[in-house]
Structures are given as structure tokens and as C-alpha cells.
Amino acid sequence: MWQVKLLSVLGLSFLNAILYRLGGEKGYNTKLRDLGVPLITTATFVVYSYPFFPLSIGMLLLHFGLLFASLTTYFKKKGEDAHWWNWLLCGIAYSLSALPITFILHNWIGFGLRTVILTGIVVAVSELSDNVWVEECSRGFIITATIPLLF
């Protein structure tokens, strides 16, 4: 069963990578990222917790809303370049969106580990890569790929 869950998380992570990138691509609607990534990430929580489903609909909706909000900002003024501290805030915000889920699962060590890994990768890939495809696909992928750490 864990193999199916792992493959599901990987598949959904790749889907999130594509949605995150397309949401930033010229000619595509930003809602692909803003709504698509939270939808897929929230669905990943449901898939990963099946058949033992301790997550309430309210907590899943709260997670969806928080992730949506975190994806609509880079914590900078429009027209300015993003710096490492902007990416740090983005990574922290992406991580904090899972706080309602963590209150149910009580895995604070996993939450802390996910926060460090997710935020670190968001900052590192955004600062070290000059390829927008690598940057945005990586951010979209890691948001979902780190969900198993919360269980």
C-alpha cells in the first residue's frame, strides 16, 4: 500500500510542478498556479491519508485557502526583483499552510522537518538557478513531495 501512496504523491507532485510553472507562463492564467496547486496539494493529503482519514473537511479547506494565499504573493513590491528573503518568506508561507493539518496529525517534528526542507529548497533553487522552468517546477514539485513528512 505504501508503494501506491508514494507513486501517487510523486505523480501529483509532477502535476503540481507543471501547474506551478504554467501559472507563471505568459499566455496562461495565473489561476492554474493559484488554484491548481492548492487543489492538487489538498487532494494529496486525502490520497496519502487513505484509508485512515483523520482530516476534516474544514481543515482541508483551511489548508487550501492558506496555500492559495501564499501562492499569490512573492512578498515584494510589483516590478521589483525577488531576493533570497522573499523566497524565504514564500517557503515559510507554503509550509505554514499545512499548520491546520498538523494540529490534527500532531506530527510537529515532521512539520518542522518539512518546513526546513521545503523552505530551503525554495530559497536554494530560486537563488541558484537562472532557468525559470527549473525554479518554478521545483517549487511546485516540492510543495507536494514533502507532504509524507507530515504523517
Separation CA 16–CA 143 (nearest Å): 8
Instruction: Answer for the pair 41, 14: CB distance below 8 angstroms, yes or no.
Output: no
Phi, psi for residue 76 in degrees, rounded to 5: -150, 165
Separation CA 25–CA 114 (nearest Å): 27
**Predicted TM-score (pTM) of this structure:** 0.93
Query: What is the per-residue pLDDT across 37-94, written as a single tens digit (0 to 9) for each?
Result: 999 999 999 998 887 777 788 999 999 999 999 999 999 998 898 999 999 999 999 9
Separation CA 4–CA 62 (nearest Å): 27
Question: 151 CB contacts (<8 Å, ≥6 apart)?
Answer: 48, 49, 105, 107, 110
Q: Where are the domains of the chain?
A: 2-150
Phi, psi for residue 24 in degrees, rounded to 5: -105, -5
Report helix, strand or coil for 28.
coil
Query: What is the per-residue pLDDT across 96-105, written as a single tens digit (0 to 9) for each?
Result: 999 999 998 9
**According to the model, what pLDDT value does residue 106 have?**
93
